[in-house]
Amino acid sequence: MNGTAPMPLPAFVYDALPMRVVFGNGSLDRLPEEIDRLGLRRVLVLCTPEQQNLAGQAAELIGPRAAGTLAQARMHVPVETVADAAAEAERLDADGYLAVGGGSTIGLGKALALKFGAPVVAVPTTYAGSEMTPIWGLTENAQKRTGRDPAVLPRSVVYDPDLTLTLPPEVSATSGLNALAHAVEALYAPDGSPVIAAMAEQGVRDLAAALPALVADPRDRGARAAALQGAWLCGACLGATTMGLHHKLCHALGGTLDLPHAQTHAVVLPHVAAFNLPAAPQAEAALSRALDTDDPSAALAALADTVGAPRRLSQLGVSAADLPRIVEAVLANPYSNPRPVGRADLEQLLTGAL
C-alpha cells in the first residue's frame, strides 16, 4: 500500500457528562414533561427582575409543580443573593429549581444545587453556556471563586431559539463571543480530546456565521437557532475541560471590579488568543478552519467589530489604576495554560486590552 503512515494520536481521557438536551423552536412547551421526568413536585422558579414575564410563563406551564418564583438573580452570583434564595427554597420546601434566563440565573440555580443537592432544569435565553457545565461560581468581598461539582450540572436543558428572538443585538453579540471563548480555551486545554476538539470547532463555526446575521436581523430564526446550537457546543466544551488564562482574567476582572460578564469576555478574547495560539498550533489550526482565516486572533477581533461588541476595557469603566489588582489576583492562584504567564505578560496583555 502506498502513502504515508498516519500521525500518532496523543493519549487522552474523555469523561462524558450526562447532558439531556431538548432543542428546537417551541421547546418551552415540553417543560412540563421534563419536570415530570425528574419527579419534581415543588419547583422554585428563578430569574432576574428583567425576566419575570418569561419566568411567569414557565411557571404557568408547569402549573401546580411551581412552588414559587424568585426574581433576584444577579451577575457573578453574590453570596448574599444565594443566602436569600436558599432561605426562600427552604421556606417553600423546594425539591428542584427551574432557572429561566442567562448565566446569572443558571449560576444561582447551581449555587442552590450545590447547597441542597436538588436538581436544576435550565431554560437558557442567552448564549452563555453555563447550563452545560458542572462549574459553579460565587462572589464574596469582590472575589470570585469557582469550582466543579457534578451536583450542579443541570439535569435537563430546554433550548428554545424562539426565546432568544427578543434578545437585543448588543446582548446577543457579547453573549455569543462569551460562548466562543469557551471553545477557544477548550481547544488548547490540557485535558482536551478529539470529541471536544470537534465540538469546539463546530461551535465556533456556528457562532461566527450566526452572530453577524442575527445582529443584522434579530428576528432571523435560522441565525438564532444556529447561535444557540453553537452556544450549546461551546458550553459543553467548557464543562469538559480545564479553564486557562482567558477565564482566569475574566473572573478576576468581573469579580474584583463587578464588570459585566459577557462584555468582559468579548474584550479579552482576541488579546488572550493572540498571546496563547502561537504556543498551541493544533488549536490555531482548528480555529483557522472554523473562521476561514490564516490569523484567528485577528478574525476574532474583526468579528467583535462586525457585531458591535466593546473592544476595550476602558469602555467597561476600567482604568489603568485598576490593573495592578487584577494582575495580583491572577497570579495568586495557579492555572493551566499553553504557555507560561508572568507578571510582565499580564501587564502587557491588560494594558493592550485597556
Of all residues in the chain, what percent are helix, strand and coil, respectively (each to 5)?
60, 10, 30
Rounded to 10 degrees, what is the CA torsion of 22, 25, 28, 33?
-50
Integer Cα distance of 313 and 259 in angstroms: 9
Integer Cα distance of 124 and 105 in angstroms: 9
pLDDT at position 164, please? 95
Residue 2 has pLDDT above 80, yes or no: no
Pick from 284, 282, 297, 278: nearest CA to 353 = 297
For 246-284, the pLDDT digits (tens) are 999 999 999 899 899 899 999 999 999 999 999 999 999
Average pLDDT in the 155-159 region?
A: 97
pLDDT at position 10, please? 75
pLDDT at position 6, please? 64
Tell me the three cell numbers of residue 19.
447532558
User: 169-353 belongs to which CATH class?
Assistant: mainly alpha
For 294-323, the pLDDT digits (tens) are 999 999 999 999 999 999 999 999 999 999
Kind plus residue range of the DSSP H or E element containing 275: helix 261-276
Tell me the three cell numbers of residue 207.
457562532
Residue 8 has pLDDT above 80, yes or no: no
Length of the chain equals: 354
- The yes-or-no answer to whether 21-164 and 169-353 have a common fold is no
List the Cα angle 167/112/23 in 5-degree steps: 40
pLDDT at position 15, please? 80
Integer Cα distance of 73 and 164 in angstroms: 19
pLDDT at position 250, please? 94
Integer Cα distance of 269 and 250 in angstroms: 9
Residue 1 has pLDDT above 50, yes or no: no
Pick from 121, 225, 123: nearest CA to 172 = 225
Q: Which of 139-153, 192-206, 229-243, 291-305 has the lowest mean pLDDT?
A: 139-153
For 159-181, the pLDDT digits (tens) are 999 999 999 999 999 999 999 99
Residue 5 has pLDDT above 80, yes or no: no
Question: Percentage of the chain surpassing pLDDT 70?
Answer: 97
Domain boundaries in the chain?
21-164, 169-353
Q: What is the CATH number of domain 21-164?
A: 3.40.50.1970
For 62-103, the pLDDT digits (tens) are 999 999 999 999 988 999 999 999 999 999 999 999 999 999
